[in-house]
Structure 1
Amino acid sequence: MPTVLVVDDALFMRTAVGNMFKEWGYDVHIATNGKEAVDLYPQILPDIVTMDITMPIMSGLDAVKQIVPNYPDAKIIMITALGQQRIIVEALEYGAKDFITKPFDSTQLKMVVDKLLDL
């Protein structure tokens, strides 16, 4: 069973994205900030990560900066709000593999996930 790490400080987003992945047959793991993601990543080695950019304690960008040097094949999709293009460019430079802009639906997310996993 493929695994996903859903990283978001908003309960609604964690639930919505987590449910999408559950429907697709993924084992879903949750983190509420970048620090939790950095700590959890080596324990579960997820097939894919969805990473919110703006979170307390540690941002998604800072989490990418810590995860990718140790796990260069990490497939991290940044979840962004409109107006965060500069941060997206920086996240991609640091090794995030793709991004999706809120609001999005399951079809849009599935296309990005399938592309990264070569499905």
Structure 2
Amino acid sequence: MARRILIVDDQKGVRRLLEELFKKEGWEVFVAADGSEAIPMVDNIMPDIVLMDMKMPNMNGLEASQAILTCHPGTSILMMTAYGEMDVVNKALDAGVKRCITKPFDIITLRNMVNEMIMEIASSKK
């Protein structure tokens, strides 16, 4: 079964770049432009991992992550934040977000973090 990833970012270029990267890695990729669009998608697709941008219009990444984790507490979320938002990072981790990466990030570092997360998920299901 294909691994599923949901990419949530209001910047179309970021969504497209990450979508391309993870499709090449063999992931089934879904995208959302903001948190309010992402929440019902999680219900429908049940992604293995959610890449969530922090700053977005309508509903920010922290609010969306809290809503997703309330309904799906086992969801693995990686939050993408701007450099220096340590208070936000701490709130996200307290809410149940698994990892955070600061923007601008190295694409290889992000890919490696996602691969580590999927290995952790796989080993926890054994």
Task: Tell me the secondary structure at the aligned position of residue 69 of structure 1.
Answer: helix
Quick one: which amino acid aligns to residue 16 of structure 1?
Answer: L
Structure 2 counterpart of 1:18, one-letter code: E
CA apart distance, 1:72 = 1.2
Relative to the length of structure 2, the TM-score reads 0.90
Secondary structure at the counterpart of residue 117 of structure 1: helix
Supply the distance in 1 between the matched residues of 2:105 and 2:17 (Cα, whole angstroms): 11
Q: Which residue matches 1:5?
A: 6
| AA at the equivalent of 2:78 | I
- Residues 14-51 of structure 1: CA distance to partner in whole angstroms, max 9, x if unpaired? 11111111111111101000001111101000011100
Structure 1: runs of 5 or more not aligned: none
State the TM-score, normalized to the length of structure 1: 0.95
Q: Identify the residue that residue 87 of structure 2 maps to in structure 1.
A: 86
Q: Which residue of 2 aligns with 1:61?
A: 62
Displacement, 1:9?
0.3
Q: Stretches of 4+ moved more than 4 A in 1? A: none
**Structure in which a larger fraction of residues adopt helix:** 2
Other-structure match for 1:76: 77
Matches within 5 A, 1:97-108: 97-108=98-109
Q: Name the CA distance, whole Å, in 2 between partners of 1:102 and 1:80.
A: 6
How far apart, in 2, do the equivalents of 1:91 and 1:83 lie? 14
Give 5+ residue unaligned stretches, structure 2: 121-126
CA distance in 1, matches of 2:27, 2:116: 16
- The more displaced of 27-36 and 100-109 is 100-109
For residues 83 and 110 of structure 1, the distance between their equivalents in structure 2, rounded to whole angstroms, comes to 22
Q: Hey, what's the Cα distance between the residues in 1 that align with 2:117 and 2:30? A: 19
